[in-house]
Amino acid sequence: MYVWIWRHLPGNAWVKALVSLLLVLGTVYVLFQYVFPWAEPLLPFNDVTVDNGMPAGGAMTEWR
């Protein structure tokens, strides 16, 4: 997969390395900016309140 991408990048090895770096940075940006903030409330790692199973304040806080 990554070999395939590398082969299809334009230019010589240096240009390819630079483009790869930009691709990696872009992916990390998309993950931090959009994917992780979306995924976080769906995962049960960060509930801090006591509640009776009802979502508090409109946020999804419950995993039974």
Partner 1 sequence: MARTDRVRGRIAATVSVIGELLITAGVIMALFVVYSLWWTNVLADREAKKQGNQVRDHWANAPSGPGALDTKDGIGFLHVPAMKNGEVLVKPGTGGKVLNEGVAGFYREPVKAAMPWDKRGNFTLAAHRDGHGAKFHNIDKISTGDPVVFETRDVWYVYKVFAELKETSRFNTDVINPVPKESGRTAPGRFLTLTTCTPVYTSDYRYIVWAELQRTEKVDAKRTPPKELR
Q: Does 40 bind partner 1 (CB under 8 A)?
A: yes
How far is CA 22 from each of CA 4, 16, 17, 28, 29, rounded to the nearest angstrom? Answer: 17, 10, 9, 10, 10
Q: Would you say the C-alpha torsion 25, 17, 8, 3 has a positive or negative sign?
A: negative
Q: Does 60 bind partner 1 (CB under 8 A)?
A: yes
Looking at beta carbons only, is 14 or 45 nearer to partner 1? 45
Please name the amino acid found at residue 64: R
How many chain residues touch partner 1 (CB under 8 A)?
26
Q: Does 12 bind partner 1 (CB under 8 A)?
A: no
Q: Does 61 bind partner 1 (CB under 8 A)?
A: yes
